[in-house]
Homo-oligomer: A and B are copies of this chain.
Amino acid sequence: MSKTPRDHGGGVDAAAKKFGGDRSQWIDLSTGINPAPYPVGAIDPNAWTALPDSTAQSALTEAARRFWRIPEQAAVLATPGASAPIAMIPRLRPAGRVHIAAPTYNEHAAAFATTGWKIAPRLQDTDAQVIVHPNNPDGRLFTASDLHAPLRIIDESFADVIPDASLISQSTTPGTLVLKSFGKFWGLAGLRLGFVIGDPELVAQLATMLGPWPVAGPALQIGARALNDPAWADETRERLDQDTSRLDTLLTNAGAKPLGGTTLFRLYDVEDATAWQDRLAHHHIWSRVFPYNSRWLRLGLPAPEQWSRLEAALA
């Protein structure tokens, strides 16, 4: 229903219509989602039927505090994905000027623009700023010294692959909100679970906008289980490291030049990104190109059983 188009990737439906093949046979490498997701496991039947109570909500936020080492003074709110707070954050303050460290994925810009904010080309004297940390698509990292605006959004949707780089310690600075997502590192984008962490007054405002039971019972349960499982997280980071090396080697041998990214997605420099996208699409593999750079191709990591098809497509 949204009026602002967002080039959020995905779009395998459209690709399948254009290039043929059944949607279920396509390999979607256009996102940055871990292809070996956290196992959903058994779900207590009550999680579907009962209104999520405060005990279940607290169990999740306490697990989040431990997993991300959230400072005690920062507030924590579970949300239906990270997209919901991204859409609502521009409503926390009167529309002003916001700086968004670019290039990055355009969900933040779209949300600010819809609510009357102006996107400022430079950080100086802005009312708000957004950093995606690490950045998508290039993997750029930031430090606390990059934060200046009165309202500062640190989108750590992709940060769980490099926990030591997290800027979570900044969540105690007034006006700061850190975003976390379950859709990427845990590979559970359909679960719709995210977190907003930081300034208690701003977090309370977001909670009021979302209403009293924003997150589904199964998401509370699965989320708590995953956040209480640091061993899975450690193993996953190692596997993603190895798969990233394998993907970079494969693409380098095919003539692309790795530019960076994270271990959830890789950015490559190629002669003609659209031609690469089409070539992969003829093998029913969907990749990501960017309207602002004709040489950039982004690939997510293939699932274990998908490597052979990607290798064949690039042979």
A interface residues, Cβ below 8 angstroms from B:
1-4, 6, 8, 10, 12-13, 23, 28, 31, 33, 37, 40, 45-55, 75, 77, 80-81, 83-84, 86-88, 91, 107, 111, 114, 183, 187-192, 203-204, 206-219
Contact = CB atoms under 8 A, between A and B. Distances in A.
16 contacts: A1-B77, A4-B208, A6-B212, A13-B55, A23-B55, A33-B50, A33-B51, A37-B48, A49-B189, A49-B190, A84-B210, A84-B211, A87-B211, A88-B211, A91-B91, A216-B216
A310 B209 CA distance: 38
Given A1-B77, A189-B217, 15 more contacts: A1-B203, A1-B204, A4-B208, A6-B212, A13-B54, A28-B50, A37-B49, A40-B48, A47-B190, A48-B190, A83-B213, A88-B209, A111-B211, A192-B214, A192-B217
A2 B212 CA distance: 7
Contacts of A87: 208-212
Nearest to A12: B53
B75 A1 contact: yes
Q: Which 9 A-B pairs have the closest CB atoms?
A: A190-B217, A1-B207, A87-B211, A83-B211, A192-B216, A51-B189, A80-B80, A48-B190, A1-B204
How many copies of this chain does one complex carry? 2
Q: Looking at A12, A33, A211, which has the most chain B CB atoms within 10 Å of its CB?
A: A211
Contacts of A50: 28, 33, 189-190
A49 B33 contact: yes
Nearest to A50: B190
A208 B203 CA distance: 19
A208 to B, nearest CB: 5
